[in-house]
């Protein structure tokens, strides 16, 4: 991909001409990267939209049975809304196919950077492909399989009759062998079905019923995408040397699609006396943990101070309040007032944009907390759903009176690496609602939604529904261009924050 920059790009988002012939199908295996020129504006917009889509895929995969009517309806609606190919039959969806292709490759660049990111990306892309493949008509499915060289040999009627008993007993749910078409597939392509004992095996071949062919397609796609992600990761050094791309990609992999909570209409509306009560009622687990550690130890190491300090700023603490809050607590421990004023106070003023380059730092998003700077021994920052040992997490949740069934659900989500969804479940349990009604991406969003709920600002739905998510997404969409896009000022802020962190490494 080539990327344009400069003034011209602002006027013209789309650079290349029509290249319809590249996309004979609405579904793709994304085998070849785009070769056309892509403006940075389009690059950014496509990437943010795909990230939104994949987050919806993740959410729906946990809230609904994959392939159920509700799942399909909601995912179809999201694809339509974000203008990705949603109906395989649509003849003229070139723009959507192009967006699908380019956005996949951009996120591949952003999400190849670590094992966690790769795994998350792979899972969501697989779910997306599964949904879209199953939406294809029989003819289109056949065409697509031909296109990706996955043509399997259907066994003859004679052979089917000969193997009828074996096919029937080895294929769960199979009653009418005669009415089904079976394909002879090499074992390597049918590993998942073989492992799950869902197919009949003979002489190194799996006999796969037509309805299971999607598992073969997915298996093949997973192998290709895993390999591609590993290869992309190897080429990272050359990508990282591109000063236009690196900040964008970093931001995407640490990003979320929503406001950045840098501007708070609540500034000054929270008193220091309220913080203890608020930490129990409206803080997400990460901040509750930091608050407790601060109260217990009268100190937090610098990772904790950064994460918690910016969160408090985001919920409305003024600079003066922050100075008073931290000082009161620290001088109860080993730090005397003089040392606090000389060292720690500077860093607090800095984070409020009153020192150094006067950058107004924004609170950390979940992705940033989850993906970067994992806590070490003696640290309390990070995301407890990501960074705590499951047994310790369980004990913590028990101590917060989360019911055992809820703890089990949370631990299941954690096991599946759905950390933000685990946090959403925690929100539901703490607030005693059946559906959180929004898609959680930021600790300050957690706080705001909690406060809104507790103050009766709105009713959460009791029935499982994704409409709240859509609402949230719409809001996000509105604010996306100005907030979630990695603007140059954000990039500068990130760089400065790194510098600030490096400077204040004093524990």
Binding site feature residues: 286, 366, 383, 423
Q: How far apart are CA 498 and CA 488, in angstroms?
A: 15
When the beta carbons of 46 and 419 are compared against ligand SF4, the nearer one is 419
Q: Which of 383, 436, 493, 500 contacts ligand SF4 by CB under 6 A?
A: 383
Which CB atom, from 258 or from 284, has the smaller least distance to ligand SF4?
A: 284
Among 121, 419, 438, 504, binds ligand SF4 (CB under 6 A): 419
Q: What share of the chain is helix, strand, coil (3-state, %, to 5)?
A: 60, 5, 35
Q: Is 131 in the site for ligand SF4 (CB under 6 A)?
A: no
Helix axes 404-415, 390-399, angle to 10 degrees: 150
Q: Are 177 and 207 in contact (CB under 8 A)?
A: no
The beta-strand segments (E) located in 153-266 are: 153-154, 182-186, 200-202, 205-209
In whole angstroms, the minimum distance from the beta carbon of 340 to ligand SF4 comes to 27
**CB 122, min distance to ligand SF4, A:** 21
Q: Residue 420, interface with ligand SF4 (CB under 6 A)?
A: yes
- Smallest distance, Å, CB 264 to ligand SF4? 17
- What's the per-residue H, E or C state across 72-112? HHHHHHHHHHCCCCCCCCCCCCHHHHHHHHHHHHHHHHHCC
Please give the DSSP secondary-structure letter assigned to residue 29.
Answer: -
179 Cβ contact partners less than 8 Å away, ≥ 6 residues apart: none
The answer to whether 285 and 414 are in contact (CB under 8 A) is: no
Q: If you count DSSP H runs as helices and E runs as strands, how many of each does the chain have, helices first?
A: 25, 6
Residue 110 binds ligand SF4 (CB under 6 A)? no
Look up tokens 């990761």; give the residue: 233
Of 29 and 419, which CB lies nearer to ligand SF4 in the complex structure? Answer: 419
3-state SS, residue 37: strand
Contacting residue, 366, 397, 414, 453, with ligand SF4 by CB under 6 A? 366
| Closest separation in Å from C-beta 382 to ligand SF4 | 8
Interaction of residue 43 with ligand SF4, rule CB under 6 A: no
Annotated binding residues for [4Fe-4S] cluster, as ranges? 286, 366, 383, 423
187: its two tokens = 């074992």
Closer CB to ligand SF4, 247 or 363, in the complex: 363
Residue 375 vs 384, nearer CB to ligand SF4: 384
Tell me: does residue 308 bind ligand SF4 (CB under 6 A): no
- Residue 309 contacts ligand SF4 per CB under 6 A: no
- Say whether 292 sits in a helix, a strand or coil: helix
> Residues 166-203, buried b or exposed e (16+ Cβ, 10 A)?
ebeebbeebeebeebebbbbeeebbeebbeeebbbeee
| Binder among 193, 369, 397, 497 for ligand SF4 (CB under 6 A) | 369
Tell me how far, at minimum, the Cβ of 423 lies from ligand SF4, in Å.
3
Q: Token match 């990111």: residue?
A: 117
**Choices 262-270, 383-391, 448-456, 467-475; region in contact with ligand SF4 by CB under 6 A:** 383-391
Task: Give me the residue label for tokens 């706080």.
Answer: 447
> From the CB of 414, what's the least distance to ligand SF4, in Å?
10
Q: Which of 34, 85, 309, 384 is the binder for ligand SF4 (CB under 6 A)?
A: 384
Return the structure tokens found at 466: 């994704």
Q: Of 77-85, 129-137, 264-272, 279-287, which segment contacts ligand SF4 by CB under 6 A?
A: 279-287
- Is residue 497 within the footprint of ligand SF4 (CB under 6 A)? no
For the CB of residue 287, give the shortest distance to ligand SF4 in the complex, in Å.
Answer: 7
Q: Which one among 133, 221, 446, 504 touches ligand SF4, defined by CB under 6 A?
A: 446
How many CB atoms neighbour CB 413 within 10 A?
A: 20
Contacts of 310 (CB under 8 A, 6+ apart): 351, 361, 362, 363, 364
Instruction: Write the CA distances from 223 to 50, 80, 194, 216, 228, integer angstroms.
Output: 21, 28, 16, 11, 9
Number of residues that bind ligand SF4 (CB under 6 A): 14
CB of 365 to ligand SF4, least distance (A): 8
Give the strand pairing for 2-4 and 37-39. Answer: parallel
Is 385 a binder of ligand SF4 (CB under 6 A)?
yes
Q: Is 258 in the site for ligand SF4 (CB under 6 A)?
A: no
User: Does residue number 317 form part of the binding site for ligand SF4 (CB under 6 A)?
Assistant: no
171 binds ligand SF4 (CB under 6 A): no
> Is 438 near ligand SF4 (CB under 6 A)?
no
> Of 208 and 383, which CB lies nearer to ligand SF4 in the complex structure?
383
* Contacts to ligand SF4 by CB under 6 A: 284-286, 366, 369-370, 383-385, 419-420, 423, 443, 446
């Amino acid at each position: 991909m080539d990327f344009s920059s400069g003034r011209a790009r602002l006027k013209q988002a789309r650079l290349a001409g029509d290249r319809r012939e590249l996309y004979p199908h609405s579904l793709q295996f994304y085998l070849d990267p785009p070769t056309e020129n892509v403006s940075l504006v389009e690059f950014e917009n496509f990437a943010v939209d795909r990230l939104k889509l994949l987050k919806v895929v993740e959410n729906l995969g946990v809230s609904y049975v994959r392939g159920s009517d509700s799942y399909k309806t909601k995912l179809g609606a999201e694809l339509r809304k974000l203008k990705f190919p949603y109906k395989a039959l649509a003849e003229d969806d070139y723009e959507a196919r192009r967006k699908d292709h380019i956005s996949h490759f951009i996120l591949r660049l952003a999400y190849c950077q670590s094992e966690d990111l790769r795994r998350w990306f792979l899972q969501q892309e697989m779910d997306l492909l599964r949904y879209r493949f199953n939406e294809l008509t029989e003819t289109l499915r056949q065409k697509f399989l031909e296109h990706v060289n996955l043509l399997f040999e259907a066994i003859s009627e004679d052979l089917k009759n000969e193997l009828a008993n074996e096919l029937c007993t080895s294929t769960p749910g199979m009653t009418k062998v005669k009415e089904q078409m079976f394909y002879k597939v090499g074992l390597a392509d049918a590993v998942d079905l073989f492992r799950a004992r869902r197919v009949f095996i003979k002489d190194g071949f799996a006999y796969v019923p037509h309805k299971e062919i999607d598992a073969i397609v997915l298996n093949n796609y997973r192998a290709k995408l895993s390999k591609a992600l590993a290869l992309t990761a190897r080429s990272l050094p050359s990508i990282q040397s591109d000063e236009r791309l690196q900040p964008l990609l970093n931001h995407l992999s640490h990003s979320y699609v929503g406001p950045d909570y840098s501007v708070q209409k609540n500034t000054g509306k929270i008193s220091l006396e309220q913080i203890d009560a608020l930490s129990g009622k409206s803080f997400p687990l990460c901040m509750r943990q930091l608050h407790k550690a601060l109260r217990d130890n009268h100190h937090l190491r610098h990772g904790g101070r950064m994460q918690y300090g910016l969160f408090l700023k985001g919920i409305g603490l003024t600079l003066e309040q922050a100075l008073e809050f931290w000082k009161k607590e620290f001088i109860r421990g080993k730090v005397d007032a003089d040392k606090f004023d000389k060292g720690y106070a500077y860093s607090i003023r800095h984070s409020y944009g009153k020192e150094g380059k006067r950058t107004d730092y924004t609170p950390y998003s979940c992705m940033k907390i989850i993906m970067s700077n994992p806590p070490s021994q003696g640290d309390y920052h990070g995301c407890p759903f990501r960074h705590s040992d499951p047994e310790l997490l369980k004990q913590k949740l028990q101590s917060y009176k989360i019911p055992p069934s809820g703890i089990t659900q949370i631990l299941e989500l954690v096991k599946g690496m759905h950390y933000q969804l685990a946090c959403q479940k925690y929100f539901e349990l703490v607030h005693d609602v059946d559906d959180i009604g929004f898609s959680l991406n930021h600790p300050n969003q957690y706080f705001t939604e909690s406060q809104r709920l507790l103050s009766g600002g709105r009713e959460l739905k009791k029935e499982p529904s994704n409409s709240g998510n859509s609402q949230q997404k719409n809001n996000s969409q509105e604010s996306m261009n100005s907030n979630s896009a990695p603007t140059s000022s954000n990039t500068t802020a990130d760089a400065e924050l790194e510098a600030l962190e490096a400077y204040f490494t004093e524990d």
